[in-house]
Amino acid sequence: MSYERHTLDNGVRIVLAPMPQAQSVTVALMYAAGSRYETRETNGIAHFAEHMFFKGTENRPSSRDIAGEIDAIGGEFNAFTGKEYTGYYVRCAAEHRDTALDVLVDMLRHSKFETEEIEREKGVIIEEMNMYFDTPRDYIGGVYEDLLYGDQPLGWDIIGRKDTVRGATRDAFMEYIGRWYKPERLVVGIGGKIEGDVTEAIERHLGDLEPADTGEPDPVSVNGNGSRVRVHTKQSDQAHIALGVPSYPITHPDRYALQLLATVLGGGMSSRLFTEVRERRGLAYYVFGTNHSYTDAGSLYAQAGVDINRIDDAVSTVAAELRRIADEAVPADELEKARNFAKGRFVLQLENPHGLIMYGLRKEVLEGQTVDPAEVLAELDKVTGDDVQRVARDLIDDRRLRLALIGPFDDAERFEKLLG
């Protein structure tokens, strides 16, 4: 599993992940642009634009025309918007690679953004928003990041707000795309059975784009002086919590030790959180621990859906597990199990063309380099128990704990006392 990397004269980067044994390919275009690149007045425009690129081009006038061409090759296509990137892809048989590339480029270069379609899609986005807000297991992540980052783009929901979605205009889309959808922010990825000179085809499609210096979004500041607890009051039979601490950016030197720390805490059904919160105490159905990093910020946190009548016990138990991993060295056998878990899940993620190229694209977009999987496995092998405890002690402290909750509660002070 390895990557080939090329760069066109205008700054467009190409990442190839050859898998000769495969019969399919994933063709993807990913931009270093997402909801973090919005203003408060345009919050949600990145995600809304992702929808609009499927609505018709000059060559393929309607969404039906676009979908029909992908259906005709037996392919599947989709897109996703994050806070720091947006991606569009087609998966299909290898023989139809050029068609997939042509459709994607046409969508991203020649979409019409008709006012009538924009107005129609607003209703779709609002309903997607309602579904998101009505799904606490998903929405708790937004509440937690609002607590961590406050009123700045990393603290806003990717999907936006109802007032900004309803107020979106064609000019707003054109301004956002014209500012951020530029060659130096674009990475083209193809993974799977790659035959012929694919870079030449990409050059034909994208080589005439004019380069431009777009600048960067404002650096993030963690909301360290704000509240330690954020409660989203909602009548429900189950409470959802996210409890954690600010951590490291995505390229931090200790990122692999941090990954194993998160794995010991909450990776898999034999992790500390799963064992203590669910198996021993019966406080939750689901519980996990993870680390989520951006280019200049991050957070190590636990998330769980818990019994509303035992919410205090659940918060205290999760907080205690966080403290314990900082206070006590991780035993060698437990660290080795976590290492094997992390490596195994990583390898499984990269077994197919889609997983392999998407990993490479995210690395290239967010870190400016494509790291071969073998290097990642080697770095995980280097992590020692001392590394994990050093990182845990650096990050986990009662004063740094942050708690977000969704449930039938309205007293944040009550929960602040549980954090110590």
Give the residue numbers marked as catalytic.
50
Q: Residue 159: CB partners within 8 Å, gap ≥ 6?
A: 44, 47, 125, 128, 129, 132, 165
Tokens at residue 411, please? 């007293």
Half-sphere exposure (Cβ direction) of 262: Cα atoms closer than 13 Å: 26
Tokens at residue 382, please? 């280097």
User: Among residues 313, 320, 306, which one has the least CA distance to residue 137?
Assistant: 306
Which amino acid, one-letter code, is at 37? Y
Determine the straight-line distance between the first and last CA of the chain, rounded to whole angstroms. Answer: 47
User: Among residues 391, 413, 25, 377, which one has the least CA distance to residue 201?
Assistant: 25
Contact between 184 and 214 under an 8 Å Cβ cutoff? The reply is yes
Contact between 402 and 415 under an 8 Å Cβ cutoff? The reply is no
Tokens at residue 263, please? 């794995």
